[in-house]
């Protein structure tokens, strides 16, 4: 009874976030366009400007821009299949990973990777906001770190609805504050554009494949932003003939397309750093990579210093709150998902909001911003191993080899606990790329460590699926429910069934037949939520006894 009560409490508490659940139609009331605008609102972060500035100052404009372009194209291709599955089947990245090579418990490893990302990027963005408070209001940095952390809590606790309102109302303000002064400088000072084009940074200015890849490696660390986009686009409405154009447009722009806007901001970051160093103050050095100083310089070319300072502060606060509410929200979902699955208890997502923010605040106080280039380059190796593995399983194993189940299964009882396909791929790709990054294979290989992560993941994922013949994907081929999983348009069915454990009704994709029959021998249904929180196997149907070849057949849903 205690477990049933816990499941009921989790059902009620997770109505606003669906931390470890399929997002039902009853929650997805927004249009495709509204979901897209909300998702794009979260990419207003200023770390892009800092990242672009950092790699531009080190490798020069040509290498930095080519590196940003290379990373952006790669991230788009990796993100497309993952984002499509999230929007089409209304699942977050953890639920997709479960049935895409990792298994029910195995995906917890990838979720921790993402949760760490949200902490790192909250710290980087919070540090930028603290810099703004310090420069404009003389607030000490340690206190600024605390303010930038606490300010997001009221919004994050209220979940998706609060995020949607925040992003909708603040995005126009951000665009005006960020773009108008930039356009003015470009038009009024052609010399700044010329200086940008020929800037060599700390290099000799020659275009080098090694410098391009080194620049891209820093950008690759931003790839987990896709998971934060997915936390929003999983709320996309069903795709129909009537809305298919707006549906696809929103998916492409707000899903993998986020990297187009991110790449543009990185190139702008290079321009702003060059502008500061060549037109404002050559002695700034590394401080030219700080977005606060970049925008103050832009505004001062248009208006008095006091007004420039004020507007720069408004821009920084708006931008950083927009991204950090998303960081904190997505991080709390990730930590909550892992904890609940492993412990079979649900203390509430709010607990993990504070847990996530505590880690991020500690990183700020440790001055992680000063190590931004090294931290992101190191982290990029594991990030690309993880996301390329999931993308390869979807694109190759599901659609080319037809070994992985086509429908992204996520329910306990339907999956094996662990799947070596994804675990071996991520483990091997991470190990080899980190070894290269650490110089184990020589200094000449070190700049290409992230390419090793990508290449090993692309090869190992289908290879492991072939070696295992797909027998670790599905524990069962059917969930014991006669009605179809998908509707006539291929969307998850909106049929509602009652969970006999919690007493609540859930939509068809969330449900399975229970191993526990009713009082008269009738079939009862159990929700994936109840199974997640149950520490026994009393409701779990037995595994199929078919041959491995049979279990390797595609499950079309």
Q: Where are the beta strands (DSSP E) in 373-458?
A: none
CA atoms within 13 A on the CB side of 424: 14
Q: Distance between CA 94 and CA 107 in Å, rounded?
A: 6
Show the CA angle centred on residue 382, arms to residues 384 and 362, nearest 5°. 125
Residue among 179, 156, 176, 175 at smallest CA distance from 166: 156
Contact 261, 43 (CB under 8 A): yes
- Cα→Cα distances 64→198, 210, 556, Å: 12, 11, 43
φ/ψ region of 86 (left if φ > 0, alpha if ψ in -120 to 50, else beta) reads alpha
Under 8 Å CB-to-CB from 31, ≥6 apart: which residues? 237, 243, 246
pLDDT for 296 equals 86
pLDDT for 389 equals 97
Q: Let me know how long the chain is.
A: 557
pLDDT for 429 equals 97
DSSP codes joined into one string, 446-476: GGGHHHHHHHHHHHHHHHHHHHHTTTTTBS-
Task: Kindly list the domain boundaries of the chain, sorted by start residue.
Answer: 2-280+287-468
Mean pLDDT, contiguous 10-residue spans, the chain (557 residues): 54 56 83 79 77 92 95 95 94 91 92 87 86 88 91 71 62 77 84 90 86 90 84 88 91 90 92 89 83 84 85 82 80 84 79 89 85 78 94 96 91 93 96 94 90 96 96 93 91 92 90 92 90 86 67 42
- For domain 2-280+287-468, the CATH superfamily is Hydantoin permease (1.10.4160.10)
Residue among 278, 51, 190, 440 at smallest CA distance from 59: 51
Contact 194, 46 (CB under 8 A): no
Q: Name the token pair of 449.
A: 């460590």
This prediction has a pTM of: 0.86
SS3 state at 541? coil
CA atoms within 13 A on the CB side of 75: 29
Under 8 Å CB-to-CB from 163, ≥6 apart: which residues? 38, 42, 155, 232, 325, 326, 329
pLDDT for 287 equals 82
pLDDT for 4 equals 56
């Amino acid at each position: 009874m205690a477990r049933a009560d816990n499941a009921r409490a989790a059902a009620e508490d997770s109505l606003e976030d669906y931390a470890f659940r399929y997002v039902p139609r009853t929650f997805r009331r927004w249009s495709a366009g509204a979901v897209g605008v909300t998702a794009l609102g979260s990419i207003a972060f200023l770390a892009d400007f800092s990242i672009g500035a950092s790699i531009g100052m080190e490798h020069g404009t040509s290498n930095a821009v080519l590196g940003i372009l290379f990373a952006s194209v790669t991230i788009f291709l990796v993100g497309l299949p993952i984002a499509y599955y999230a929007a089409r089947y209304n699942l977050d990245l953890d639920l997709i990973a479960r049935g895409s090579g990792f298994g029910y418990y195995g995906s917890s490893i990838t979720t921790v990777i993402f949760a760490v990302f949200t902490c790192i990027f909250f710290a980087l963005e919070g540090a930028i906001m603290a810099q703004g408070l310090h420069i404009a209001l003389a607030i000490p940095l340690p206190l600024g770190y605390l303010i930038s952390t606490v300010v997001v809590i009221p919004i994050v606790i209220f979940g998706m609805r609060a995020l949607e309102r925040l992003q909708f109302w603040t995005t126009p303000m951000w665009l005006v504050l960020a773009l108008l002064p930039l356009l003015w400088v470009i038009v009024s000072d052609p010399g700044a554009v010329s200086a940008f084009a020929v800037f060599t940074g700390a290099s000799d200015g020659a275009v080098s494949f090694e410098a391009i890849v080194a620049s891209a490696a820093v950008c690759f660390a931003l790839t987990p932003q896709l998971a934060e986009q997915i936390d929003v686009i999983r709320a996309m409405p069903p795709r129909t003939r009537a809305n298919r154009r707006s549906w696809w447009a929103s998916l492409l722009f707000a899903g993998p397309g986020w990297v187009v806007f991110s790449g543009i901001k990185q190139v702008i970051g290079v321009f702003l750093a060059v502008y500061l160093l060549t037109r404002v103050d050559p002695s700034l050095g590394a401080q030219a990579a700080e977005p606060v100083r970049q925008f103050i310089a832009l505004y001062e070319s248009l208006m008095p210093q006091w007004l420039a300072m004020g507007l720069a502060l408004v821009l920084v606060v708006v931008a950083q709150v927009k991204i950090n509410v998303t960081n904190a929200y997505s991080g709390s979902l990730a930590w909550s998902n892992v904890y609940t699955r492993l412990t079979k208890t649900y203390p509430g997502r709010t607990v993990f909001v504070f847990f996530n923010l505590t880690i991020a605040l500690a990183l700020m106080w440790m001055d992680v911003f000063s190590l931004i280039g090294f931290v992101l380059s190191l982290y990029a190796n594991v990030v690309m191993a993880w996301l390329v593995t999931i993308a390869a399983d979807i694109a190759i194993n599901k659609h080319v080899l037809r070994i992985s189940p086509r429908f992204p299964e996520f329910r306990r009882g339907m999956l094996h606990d662990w799947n070596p396909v994804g675990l071996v791929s991520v483990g091997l790709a991470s190990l080899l790329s980190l070894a290269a990054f650490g110089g184990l294979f020589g200094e000449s290989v070190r700049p290409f460590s992230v390419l090793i992560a990508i290449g090993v993941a692309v090869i190992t994922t289908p290879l492991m699926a072939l070696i295992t013949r797909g027998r670790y994907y599905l524990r069962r081929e059917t969930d014991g429910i006669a009605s179809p999983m998908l509707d006539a348009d291929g969307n998850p069915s909106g049929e509602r069934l009652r969970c006999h454990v919690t007493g609540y009704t859930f939509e068809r994709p969330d449900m399975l037949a229970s191993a526990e029959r009713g009082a008269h021998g009738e079939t009862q249904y159990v929700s994936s939520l109840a199974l997640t929180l149950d520490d026994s196997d009393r409701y779990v149907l037995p595994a199929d006894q078919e041959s491995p070849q049979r279990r390797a057949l595609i499950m079309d849903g």
